[in-house]
């Protein structure tokens, strides 16, 4: 991130230095400004550091991008999901040469929200390449399992009000299809896709 900021600063400085000598017409200045803005926007989207930089861990990528320490990391087959700064998420791709800066950060999709009695939870799915991360946010520590024998890790327990906590659990799967089921607080949920859910209530 710092490298991209430096490159943008150099581009702006070059424009300011050259505008009087070479950009002596309004048309040239407008075209140059458009090209400069487009180039700066591309630099913001495309991680050019990946050409000459590599990182030894997902935590290092998080530290470089946001200057924040990772709270928890769950690794998949081709990438890893990083939880940092209490409630933020970053997915970092892996390569043969080490971990890299992602070009895009995947959007989350709220699959299901259930509030009944003291039990309240929300399920999110994060997808990058062939890895899926099932993230469950709850107001209490509850049992979570699925039919893939996935391990769900408690990745955070943030106190959002005095004596009130929000817990976050994360598990990893490599395929999300019509056969996938997750059990949260004795409720069995069949996730059909990222946009459609069918809920099955299991007996306590």
The segment with the largest mean pLDDT, out of 103-117, 153-167, 178-192, is: 178-192
159 vs 149 pLDDT, higher one: 149
Say what the pLDDT of residue 2 is: 67
Read out DSSP for the chain? -HHHHHHHHHHHHHHHHHTTTT--SHHHHHHHHHHHHHHHHHHHHS-GGGGT--BSSHHHHHHHHHS--EEEEEE-SSEEEEEETTTEEEEEEEETTEE---SS-PPPEEEEEEEETTEEEEEEEEEETTEEEEEEEESS---EEETT-PPPEEEEEEEEETTEEEEEEEEEES---TT-EEEETTEEEEE-SSS-EEEEPPP-
Q: What is the mean pLDDT of residues 179-189?
A: 87
pLDDT band at residue 203 under the 50/70/90 scheme: very low
Say what the pLDDT of residue 99 is: 95
Q: What is the mean pLDDT of residues 84-111?
A: 83
Is the pLDDT confidence value at 162 over 50?
yes
Q: Hey, where are the domains in the chain?
A: 2-46, 53-99, 109-200
Its pTM stands at 0.78
pLDDT band at residue 82 under the 50/70/90 scheme: very high
Q: Per-residue pLDDT tens for 99-151?
A: 999 887 666 666 777 765 556 788 888 888 889 999 999 888 889 999 999 99
Say what the pLDDT of residue 120 is: 78
Say what the pLDDT of residue 204 is: 41
Q: Class for domain 109-200, per CATH?
A: mainly beta
């Amino acid at each position: 991130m710092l490298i991209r900021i430096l490159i943008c600063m150099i581009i702006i400085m070059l424009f300011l230095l050259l505008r009087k000598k070479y950009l002596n017409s309004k048309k040239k200045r407008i075209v140059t400004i458009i090209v400069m803005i487009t180039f700066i926007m591309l630099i913001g989207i495309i991680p050019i550091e990946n050409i000459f930089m590599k990182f030894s861990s997902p935590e290092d990528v998080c530290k470089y991008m946001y200057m924040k320490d990772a709270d928890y990391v769950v690794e998949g087959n081709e990438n890893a999901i990083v939880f940092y700064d209490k409630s933020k998420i970053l997915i970092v791709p892996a390569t043969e040469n080490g971990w890299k800066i992602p070009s895009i950060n995947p959007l989350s999709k709220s699959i299901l929200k259930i509030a009944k009695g003291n039990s309240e939870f929300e399920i999110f799915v994060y997808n990058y390449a062939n890895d899926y991360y099932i993230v469950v946010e709850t107001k209490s520590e509850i049992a979570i399992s699925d039919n893939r024998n996935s391990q769900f890790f408690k990745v955070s327990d943030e106190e959002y009000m005095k004596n009130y906590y929000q817990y976050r659990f994360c598990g990893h799967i490599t395929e999300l299809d019509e056969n996938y089921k997750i059990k949260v607080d004795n409720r069995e949920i069949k996730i059909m896709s990222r946009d459609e859910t069918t809920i099955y209530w299991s007996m306590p």
